[in-house]
Amino acid sequence: MNIAFETALGYMGKVSSPRVITGNPHLLVERAERRFGFEVVRIPDGGAMSLKRLREEITDESVVAVYVLLL
64 vs 55, higher pLDDT: 55
Domain hosting 9: range is: 2-67
3-state SS, residue 57: helix
* pLDDT at residue number 1: 62
- pLDDT of 61 over the 70 cut: yes
Taking residues 38-61, report their average pLDDT.
Answer: 93
Tell me the pLDDT band of 43, cut-offs 50, 70 and 90: very high
d(CA 61, CA 48): 23
Reported as type and span, the H/E element at residue 51 is: helix 51-57
Chain segment 4-42, per-residue pLDDT in tens:
777 777 766 677 888 999 998 888 888 888 888 889 999
Backbone angles phi, psi at 68, to 5 degrees: -130, 135
Number of domains in the chain: 1
